[in-house]
Amino acid sequence: MAALLSSVNPVRISRSLWHYHSLIVELVKRELSQRYRGSFLGVLWTFIVPLFMLSIYTFVFGVVFKARWQVNGPETPTGEFALILYAGLTPFNLFSEVANRSPSLIVNMTNYVKRVVFPLEILPVVTVGAALVNSLINVGLLIIANLLITHTFSLALVFLPLAYIPLLLFCLGVSWFLASLGVYIRDIAQGIVIAVQILFFLTPIVYPITSVPAGLQPVLAVNPLTFIADSFRQAVLWNQELHWKALLAWTLVMGLFALLGYAWFMKTRKGFADVL
């Protein structure tokens, strides 16, 4: 029992990760540089990919299916619908990038596994850090697009870092769990791709949760990305304060989830070298 409590001690975990903060920063830089090394457009792909996906989603849902975002007021025009869609995609894409990369994270780093002194637990942190950089770039694009389309600027942007907290904790927990499971169950990588696609449609990104039948709304509300996507819209687009009680609750839940993911990773890492 004492060993379990020690493994999920947030203070001890925070100190351990902070001890390697310089290494984490360097690995994040290397991750980002290697991602676009040798490509002609380089870092511009960070802007091109989300803008391309936004155009496709806006065309399919906004033009073909004529989806609109309507809660209490009138339906939003296509331009504002694209902003709402992009605000929901921004946190989801961060989660999606982390979830899809994590199962193969340790498998692709076998040289680190052989080094007894290397802190493998920071690799998921590096993955989340690199995804966060891309996410912040997307937020910058969203702010500029909002200024151009609606000619407004949300002062509630100051609350956006708080909306990132449960998201990052959720992604860390997912990454620690999946990075470990991916060593022992190789098929999980393919399963996660399918799961992420399903989760996309179960998250109110292209539709408001109020458009779902009342009996199903609690099911979608259990998804932490539902609250996080709404928080991004409130902070970046709608100049609204966050739902503080819900934010606190989700932060605590996701914090516990991250601690359990870390404990699981540290418990199972002992067998990585034998399997790989």
pLDDT-derived band of residue 6, with 50, 70 and 90 as boundaries?
Answer: low
Q: What token pair was written down for 183?
A: 């060593």
3-state secondary structure 213-228: CCCCHHHHHCCHHHHH
Flag the least confident range among 12-21, 123-132, 243-252. Answer: 12-21
| Distance (Å, whole) CA 31 – CA 146 | 30
CA angle 182, 188, 190 (to 5 degrees): 125
- Is the model's pLDDT at 89 over the cut of 80? yes
| Distance (Å, whole) CA 252 – CA 255 | 5
| Distance (Å, whole) CA 174 – CA 182 | 12
pLDDT-derived band of residue 161, with 50, 70 and 90 as boundaries?
Answer: very high
pLDDT of residue 197: 93
pLDDT of residue 149: 85
What global pTM score does this model have? 0.90
pLDDT-derived band of residue 41, with 50, 70 and 90 as boundaries?
Answer: low
pLDDT of residue 81: 83
Q: How far apart are the first and last CA of the chain?
A: 30
Q: Which long-range contacts does 243-247 make (Cβ < 8 Å, 24+ apart)?
A: 247/162, 247/163, 247/166
Alpha-helical (H) ranges within the chain are: 2-7, 10-19, 21-35, 45-57, 78-101, 110-113, 122-150, 160-184, 188-201, 217-221, 224-236, 244-268, 272-275
10 Å Cβ neighbour count for 50?
20
Query: What single string gives the DSSP state of each residue in 162-197?
Result: HHHHHHHHHHHHHHHHHHHHHHH-TTHHHHHHHHHH
Q: Give the chain's mean pLDDT.
A: 87
pLDDT of residue 71: 57
Q: What token pair was written down for 234?
A: 């409130």
pLDDT digits (tens, 9 = 90+) for 50-65: 778 777 877 776 677 6
pLDDT digits (tens, 9 = 90+) for 202-237: 999 988 888 888 888 999 999 999 999 999 999 999
pLDDT of residue 91: 96
pLDDT-derived band of residue 115, with 50, 70 and 90 as boundaries?
Answer: low
